[in-house]
Amino acid sequence: MSFYERLGVRRVINAAGKMTALGGSAVSPEVASAMADAAQSHVELEELMIKAGKYMARLIGAEDAVPTTGAAAGIAISVAACIAGTDLGKISKLPQSSGKNRIVLMKGHAVNFGAPVASMIRLGGGVPVEVGEANSCGRAQIEDALTDDTAAFLYVKSHHAVQKGVVSLEECIDLAHKRGIPIIVDAAAEEDLKKYPAMGIDLTCFSGGKAILGPTSGLICGKAGLIAACRAQYQGIGRPMKVGKEAIVGLVSALEAYGGVSPERAAALLKKAEYIRDGLQGIPGLQVSIVQDEAGRAIYRTEVKVDESTAKVTAKQAIRLLEKGDPAVFTRNHYANVGIILVDPRPLRDGEEDVVVNRLREVFTRGE
């Protein structure tokens, strides 16, 4: 009996993606072993944080890095670092700040990822300044917003963010750096870890429990001076975000094994998505196809479009039935309001695709 079963917690089949609400990633035996080993001994935590950070930076191609509890903590700590630097007087006062504390971001990037990204800015002492409209922002609008009181520019690289009518990351880098303003990138679920340091991003925030397949954790990588300022925030607002030795070691272990998404892995996942698509053919009221990730990543999912005038249940009813089962099946539901359910093959363990197909067929053929 698993520990979850002992607690009476249902088994979950994750067809939604690398979701914090579903525990992020299921780590490999090697990562789990490294974490168990770390848990059974003592270490001077500051030394571990510095040396692990420098090692992770070499793996990614950055000047330096610091582990965090997650990408959200990474945003707050990065903002604080840009405002307070290593000045302990300023650090001790955060999140209260004055003067150079504006954090500029496009309005289409002011997303809610389970919490508002603006809340992470405020935790770090920043004043969020949204530029443009929800689906439109121009270069001149950003240029106008980058005043002398701007501490940093935040760019959110996420499927949550608006993908059209916005200024490219390359242009934002150019605009910010011309004014001597650091740029922070929220790249929580991004798969190309070397891309952002190579572009000259000052601070990039990754989640350890998403693409990296590590434990609940995260890291900030970037310019050495700003990373030193990020570490200094653990004497202030970063204190309740401190990351333990087990998570640091697990994150390093996952990074060592991480190779991104190879063409072979991408092809295998596409094949699994196609298998799910084929298994759902012929159900009245369903149109099933393969779609690419909204943010342009090489991720393909099975899209189930529900014609609610002919299907036995609506998309939202189907989601509720899937999630209350045992095992519970969680799908990707960002477009449920327009009758679309997505199945992400990445977190599925071998054989779980059959459970997903069978449960979807059952729900849409039997109804409530």
pLDDT one-digit tens code per residue, 150-169: 999 999 998 888 888 999 99
| Mean of pLDDT values over 356-368 | 90
CB neighbour class for 168 (10 Å; exposed up to 12, middle 13-18, buried from 19)? exposed
Query: Do residues 137 and 114 both lie within one domain?
Result: yes
For residue 368, what pLDDT is reported? 65
SS3 106: strand
For residue 136, what pLDDT is reported? 94
Q: What is the CATH number of the domain that holds 167?
A: 3.40.640.10
The reported pTM is 0.88
CB atoms within 10 A of CB 47: 9
Residue ending a domain, among 241, 257, 273, is 257
Q: In total, how many domains does the chain have? A: 2
Among positive and negative, which fits the CA dihedral 349, 352, 357, 359?
negative
Residue 102 forms part of a structural domain: yes
Query: Do residues 333 and 231 both lie within one domain?
Result: no
Rounded-to-10 torsion of CA 201, 202, 203, 206: 20
pLDDT in tens, 218-261: 999 999 999 999 999 999 999 999 999 999 999 999 999 997 66
Is residue 24 predicted with pLDDT exceeding 80? yes
**Mean model confidence pLDDT for the chain:** 94
Residue ending a domain, among 257, 285, 300, is 257
E strand map for 35-168: 64-68, 102-106, 127-131, 150-156
Note the Cα 263 to chain centre separation in Å: 22
pLDDT in tens, 270-324: 999 999 999 999 999 999 999 988 777 778 999 999 998 999 999 999 999 999 9
pLDDT in tens, 175-224: 999 999 999 999 999 999 999 999 999 999 999 999 999 999 999 999 99
For residue 161, what pLDDT is reported? 87
Which structural domain range is residue 86 located in? 42-257
